[in-house]
Chains A and B, each alone.
Chain A
Amino acid sequence: MSETASLMVEAIGVRKHFAGVEVLKGVDLKVGRGDVACLIGPSGSGKSTFLRCINHLEKHDAGELLVDGQLVGYELRNGKLYERNDKQICAERARIGMVFQRFNLFQHLTVLENITMGQVRVLRVREDAARARARELLERVGLAGRDGYYPAQLSGGQQQRVAIARALAMDPKLMLFDEPTSALDPELVGEVLDVMRDLARSGMTMIVVTHEMGFAREVANTVYFLDAGIIEEWGDPREVLAHPSSPRLQNFLSKVL
């Protein structure tokens, strides 16, 4: 019990299939509070799908998935699982930040409005308080003064930093990153990783799907290598990335490094 209490995310044998194809074949993972876990692996290995299961953007078919000690999407009452209704699931999601590969900023809203939207509509924060918080977060991601810009007027790196600020505005207890730098020009990757590094240092619990091995080695407490729907190897990144034991990870690392 004491271990469960210290865990932010716990997955036990999580499975998921799409139209007969099994994408996740029993994933086990444990992420403690304040920890940073990196998920690496070839494309199609199920990394993104697993990440999306954590905030219930996808429903997992089998296994147990707990966030902050609570089952994701279901409720256990008298030994029976009940599906949670939309409102409950949305309330859970609000506390789990997510950053997407394609940024997905609201195109019709300014930078500031992107960040206040969730606060005002979901958390019911007052408009002026939400704006003040948004400005604070913009400064934190190095974009002070960009309030009135539309996403299309910003570079990819700037957009992704706004997206991080938008997620942080919800005061999340957990942040999920789905290949946050994969859609960026190489020279813009650094500015986004810097923000994420700061975030990790501030004690945020993070799960990051990434191809940035340098970031994984430096920031992650644990790295998970996912291949064909199962965790092939996991452990301390300095250990796992330097001395991979499974041939598949050796093969993967030889391609990306």
Chain B
Amino acid sequence: MSTDGDGSIKVVPVRHVGRWVGVAAALVVVAMIVHTLLSRLPTGQRACQGTGASRVCHAVTEWRFSWDIVFHYFTTSEILHGLLITLELTVIAMAVGIVLGMVLAVMRLSPNRVLSGSAWTYTWFFRGTPVLVQLLVWFNIAILYPRISLGIPFTALSFFSVHTNTVFTPLEAACVALGLNEAAYMSEIARAGLLSVDEGQVEAATSIGMVRRQTLRYVVMPQAMRVIIPPTGNEVISMLKTSSLASVIGVIELLGAATNIYSANYEIMPLLLTASLWYLVVTTILSIGQFYLERYFGRGALRTPPPTPLQRMRHDLAGIVAKFPSRRGLAGAVER
């Protein structure tokens, strides 16, 4: 066996032929995508410069993906306003979903059959019907209930009453529809989180005299969060995109703004791309936020928490630098 100077064995590594074929194929596909994204098409027009013998003509081309138009609309006030409505919808619907979902999850785990049964039925109904149908129902709720009133159930007593359509705008209908639908999904996520906490934790909290509510708040919830946060991040990202359905009931959110513009100027693809790029930007920011939230709620679960991307990048860079014992590396060693 041949060894290096430092005693570690010298080997010829295994050649992964299949892996290299795969890499080559992937690179070809990536090249094709980049090429088509950056390709230009002739418009059929010709542009000429100069006169007489020095006159030069060439075919006029334009981006296949109309990037100039895409980025022109990227920051127009209509699109930005639509983006704001999208974010508003997402935040409100998720807030409703998370709060109501938590309540439903706790109800579902209650020893009382009526409470757990009601929570189950809620989830069954709202998860069992399409969210688009729910949006349309809430949008048209005035057909069923022309007036909203506050009073004592099953009596004619009423303290005040208003026309449904005067207080219930399409945006509010969308918030309610998306929020109530989300609560059904969130309740399942929260329930899984609560069940993931070891029973011994509850017993320990109980044994030091904490009541059920305190145990839930100070011991079970914080630990359940570790399990609840990752899928909730998914739900937020999913909600951001699902909120585009609200355009169907006339809410001018991001997609609604884009369709409004392209129905006037027929630049359909560029505006769909504009909207898509904004969705991508926001989901990217959300993913970064989710990473740090997970890290925070994961404390105590692992002996050594995983590095942040920045820490990992620094570590990788240090590894690359160490691989090349350049003058700089040697100088660094001497300095130390």
Residues of A at the B interface (CB closer than 8 Å) are: 55, 57, 86-87, 90-98, 100, 102, 104-110, 117-118, 121-122, 150-153, 163, 166-167, 170
Query: B205: which A residues are within 8 A, CB to CB?
Result: 106
A240 to chain B, nearest CB (A): 29
Give the number of residues in B that approach A within 8 Å (Cβ atoms): 25
Tally of contacts, chain A with chain B, CB under 8 A: 83
Knowing A150-B300, A151-B300 are in contact, say whether A105-B214 is a contact too (CB < 8 A). Answer: no
Q: Which of B209, B218, B303 contacts A153 (CB 8 A)?
A: B303
Q: Are A104 and B209 in contact (CB under 8 A)?
A: no
Query: A100: which B residues are within 8 A, CB to CB?
Result: 200, 203-204, 207
Give Cα A105–Cα B205 distance, bound, in whole angstroms.
9
Give Cα A152–Cα B302 distance, bound, in whole angstroms.
7
B211 within 8 A of A: yes
Q: What are 24 A-B interface contacts by the 8 Å CB criterion? A: A57-B203, A57-B206, A86-B211, A87-B211, A90-B210, A93-B208, A93-B209, A98-B204, A98-B207, A104-B198, A104-B201, A106-B205, A107-B300, A107-B301, A108-B297, A108-B300, A117-B210, A118-B209, A150-B299, A151-B300, A152-B303, A166-B208, A167-B207, A170-B208
Knowing A108-B222, A121-B218, A152-B302 are in contact, say whether A90-B211 is a contact too (CB < 8 A). Answer: yes
Q: Are B204 and A108 in contact (CB under 8 A)?
A: no
Name the CB-closest residue of B to A91. B209
Chain B, range 233-266, C-beta contacts under 8 Å to A: none
> Using an 8 Å CB-CB cutoff, how does the interface string of B301-322 with A read, 1 for contact, 0 for none?
1110000000000000000000
Give Cα A108–Cα B217 distance, bound, in whole angstroms.
13
B69 within 8 A of A: no
B323 within 8 A of A: no
Q: Which of A105, A118, A152, A163 contacts B301 (CB 8 A)?
A: A152
Residues of B at the A interface (CB closer than 8 Å) are: 198, 200-201, 203-212, 214, 218-219, 222-223, 226, 297, 299-303
Given contacts A102-B200, A105-B204, 19 further A-B contacts (CB under 8 A): A55-B207, A86-B211, A90-B206, A93-B206, A95-B209, A96-B207, A100-B204, A104-B201, A104-B203, A106-B201, A107-B223, A107-B300, A110-B300, A117-B219, A118-B208, A118-B210, A150-B299, A151-B300, A153-B303
B229 to chain A, nearest CB (A): 13
Q: Are B219 and A106 in contact (CB under 8 A)?
A: yes
Query: A151: which B residues are within 8 A, CB to CB?
Result: 300
Query: B302: which A residues are within 8 A, CB to CB?
Result: 152
A86 to chain B, nearest CB (A): 6
Give Cα A163–Cα B207 distance, bound, in whole angstroms.
11
Give Cα A166–Cα B204 distance, bound, in whole angstroms.
10
B57 to chain A, nearest CB (A): 73
Knowing A100-B203, A104-B201, A106-B201 are in contact, say whether A152-B208 is a contact too (CB < 8 A). Answer: no
Query: A55: which B residues are within 8 A, CB to CB?
Result: 207
A83 to chain B, nearest CB (A): 15
Give Cα A122–Cα B212 distance, bound, in whole angstroms.
12
Query: B222: which A residues are within 8 A, CB to CB?
Result: 108
Name the CB-closest residue of B to A86. B211
A194 to chain B, nearest CB (A): 22
Give Cα A47–Cα B200 distance, bound, in whole angstroms.
18
